[in-house]
Amino acid sequence: MILAWLRTLAFVQILLVSFSVFVSGLVAPSLAVAGTMASVGTTMSYSLDTSGRNYEANTPFSLRGGYRFSLADLYGEVSFFSSKSSGTEMVGVSSRDLEFLFWGRKSFSLSRSFALFGALGFGGHQETVKTRYAGDTYLDEGRIEAVGAVASGVQWRLTKAIEASLEGRVSAAESYAPNPRFGLGAFIGFAL
């Protein structure tokens, strides 16, 4: 519940920040605005389990929104990942992770439909843990930890307004195991 509220809030505020960037033109006064962009997708990555022997897959659900300027794209991304609960009937632990990143992306056209891009992002993530024991449940929110990321990939314009992208991503945060974390992302959305 709290996390859902946070997610919405984070998303709305990232949009607000992006919007204010657009309005003020402070970041790059000479940039011409080409239009808005929004997309959904996931960035699959692997992290080590507690034994340090096995890798487990993370496939967060991600939402992006922002603006496309003539020089670069600026957008916010919110990702949400929930681990499945493990334990016994009596005791168990589950966790959810909310990550928000601000991205700057520069594209290089290859053809009318394809472009290559490189992107730089930074933001934070927060883990929420649910612990239950014999009927008692605790929900704890961890502190926000910094995340930095770089990404590179290909954009494919499917129609005039619809665009898909595939990207490889390297992101780093102190609690990541392994750190940095490698991911493969796929997004689809509109870009006007």
Partner 1 sequence: MKRSSGKVLKTLGKFASRGGQVALTSFALVLSLTVASCSRESDRFAGDTYRLPWPDSEGQIALRPVQLKTLNDPENFEGSAARILVEPAESSGRLIAEKPRGRYIRSGSGTMIPSNYATLQAVTAYAHQEKLQSFDEKNGAATYLKWPLTIGLQVKVVDRGAIVNNNAIYDGKLDALLVVPYSLSDLPIALNGGILAHEHFHFIFQKAVLDRIGVQQSQGCQHGIAQTEAETPSAPQETETETGLDLDLGDEESIARAADEIAPGVYNAFLLRAINEGLADFWGWSYSGDVEFVGRSLPSEERVRRLDLEAGKLMDARAIRQSLVDLRRADKVIREDYRIGRAYLLGTQYARFLKGLVSALVEQGTSPEVAKGFVTAALVKALPTLGTAVVASYATDYISPNLILKPLILNLPDVKAPVCTALENFRATETGYQKPAACSGGTQ
Residue holding tokens 């490189």?
118
Name the DSSP class of 174.
T
Q: Between 66 and 153, whose beta carbon lies closer to partner 1?
A: 66
* Nearby residues of 173 by Cβ (< 8 Å), 6 or more positions away: 125, 145, 146, 147, 148, 179, 181
**What track of x and - describes contact with partner 1 for positions 20 through 59 (by CB under 8 A)?**
xx-xxxxx--------------------xxxxxx------
Residue 6 in the binding site for partner 1 (CB under 8 A): yes
Alpha carbons 4 and 192: distance in angstroms, whole number: 28
Q: Which of 43, 134, 132, 58 is nearest to 96 (CA)?
A: 58
Give the chain's largest Cα–Cα span: 61
Contacts (CB under 8 A) with partner 1, residues 83-102: 83, 86-93, 95, 98, 102
Q: Which of 38, 126, 168, 186 binds partner 1 (CB under 8 A)?
A: 126
With binding defined as CB under 8 A, does residue 2 bind partner 1?
Answer: yes
The SS3 call for residue 13 is helix
* Residue placing its CB nearer to partner 1 in the complex, 72 or 115: 72
Binding site for partner 1 (CB under 8 A): 2, 6, 9-10, 12-13, 16-17, 19-21, 23-27, 48-53, 83, 86-93, 95, 98, 102, 122-124, 126-129, 131, 133-134, 136, 138-146, 148, 174-175, 177
